[in-house]
Every structure is written in C-alpha cells, then in structure tokens.
C-alpha cells in the first residue's frame, strides 16, 4: 500500500493560466474524490468518481474546472483560466467499495497547493 499520490506538491502560476493536477489512488481503490481546502477551512467536496464514471460534481466546480479518470485508475483535475480565488490546497482521496459495506474510509493524499500570482 503506497498510499494516495498527488503531483505536483506545489504549483505557482499566473492568473489566467491553465493548470493540471494528477492523483494516483491506492491501486485497488475504485472510488476517487477531489476536495478543495482553503486556509482555516475544512476540505470541501468537488467531485467523485466510481471507476471511470464521474458520478457527482459540486456546485463549487465551475465550468473552468474539469476532472477525468480515463481508465478508472489515476485522475486529473484541470483548472482553466485560473483566478485568484482558485488559490487553495487540492486534495485527492480514494476508497474501496465493497458490497454491503459503504463505510470504507477515504485515504487522502498530501495535496497540491496552488498559488495564483
């Protein structure tokens, strides 16, 4: 179990640029989540995948945001035309869906800290 891996750890970019983050979940985990965490706040849900299907998107996820999980393994989160308000920590988590047990806890990565200049 190598844990959830996120890349990069830090990203600094100018306003208006596009950025893409990658998340590699724990290998057997079929559920993957993206959260955003701003300073002094708890993580807020952005989107959720079961295998390759994106099953829910938060209203926080404007049309500048897009997430994919093309083969049901790693996922990418892209932000287009970044704005100052996008500065945050972006957390990825994964969990394993077992029949009859929906309480498998989520395992979190270290996050990608995005800073918009």
Partner 1 sequence: AQTVTQSQPEMSVQEAETVTLSCTYDTSENNYYLFWYKQPPSRQMILVIRQEAYKQQNATENRFSVNFQKAAKSFSLKISDSQLGDTAMYFCAFMKPPSGTYKYIFGTGTRLKVLA
Q: Per CB under 8 A, does 31 bind partner 1?
A: yes
Smaller CB distance to partner 1: residue 45 or 80?
45
| Number of residues written out for the chain | 117
Report the C-alpha gap between 116 and 63 in whole angstroms: 18
21 near partner 1, judged by CB under 8 A:
no
The rounded distance, in Å, linking the Cα atoms of 10 and 48 is 22
Query: How far is residue 25's CA from residue 46's CA, in Å, rounded to a whole number?
Result: 16
Q: Is 91 in the site for partner 1 (CB under 8 A)?
A: yes
- Interface ranges with partner 1 (CB under 8 A): 3-4, 31, 33, 35, 40-45, 48, 55-56, 91, 95, 102-103, 105-111
């Amino acid at each position: 179990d190598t844990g959830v891996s996120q890349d990069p750890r830090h990203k600094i970019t100018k306003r208006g640029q596009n950025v893409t983050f990658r998340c590699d979940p724990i290998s057997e985990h079929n559920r993957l989540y993206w959260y955003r965490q701003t300073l002094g706040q708890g993580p807020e849900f952005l989107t959720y995948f079961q295998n390759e299907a994106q099953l829910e998107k938060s209203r926080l996820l404007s049309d500048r945001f897009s997430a994919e999980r093309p083969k049901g393994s790693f996922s990418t989160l892209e932000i287009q035309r970044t704005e100052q308000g996008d500065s945050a920590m972006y957390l990825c988590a994964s969990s394993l869906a077992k029949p009859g047990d929906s309480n498998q806890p989520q395992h979190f990565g270290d996050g990608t800290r995005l800073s918009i200049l």
